[in-house]
Amino acid sequence: MLPDYPAIKRSLAEALEEQLRIRFLFYLGPLAEIGHHRQFEGHQMATSRPEGEKVDDPRELLETISIKIDEVPTLTLATIVALLDEAAKKLAEAHSRMVYAQIGQAVSEVGNTVDCRGEALSAKHLLAMIGKVQIDFNDRGQPELPSLFINPQNQKAVERAFEELNSDPELAAMWRAIIDRKREEWRDREASRGLAG
């Protein structure tokens, strides 16, 4: 009978699972900053908010790694890590598509979309977008602006829109007016907030 070494196998499996998790988060990019948790059992998840309860069905995120039996004798740790890395990349891509689809659905449901209607993205579209989101402010009264996620194909258009926003005094004044309005909304939220305890 061959020795089994269960402790070594368990340690190796844990290390490889951690490597998969680290690479998955790496490939998620900025989406890795979103809080998450794993649901190990059950067929639904309910989220309770002041506006009501929302029930979601779980979505499967699955990637398979195949190793042929004749490859096992020459299988190296580097090969296993490379296979895990490819799996992590595919999982992150699938997860990203799922998250962006959910975000798109949520913003459409509440009316927080800005449709350029075939026009090139402009500073006015940016102003419309920032006008639709909730903004918090720091202790010095400076806005904590949300992250802007863009399709890489639109990067140049977004850069031009920000240049337009910074160079046109009328658009800059509109920006300041939106930020001032958002600051007042934030102050109202903070003033009406109940303290715990």
Residue 196 binned pLDDT confidence (cut-offs 50, 70, 90): low
Burial 76-108, CB ≥16 within 10 A → b, else e = eeeeeeebbbebbebbbeebbeeeeeeeeeeee
Helix (H) or strand (E) holding 126: helix 123-132
- Token pair, residue 175, equals 């920006």
Residue 146 binned pLDDT confidence (cut-offs 50, 70, 90): confident
pLDDT per residue as tens digits for the range 15-67? 999 999 999 999 998 899 888 777 777 777 777 777 777 777 777 888 888 88
Q: Where are the domains of the chain?
A: 6-35+44-110, 123-191
3-state DSSP assignment of residue 176: helix
pTM: 0.71
In this structure, are residues 123 and 6 in contact, taking their beta carbons and an 8 Å threshold? Answer: no
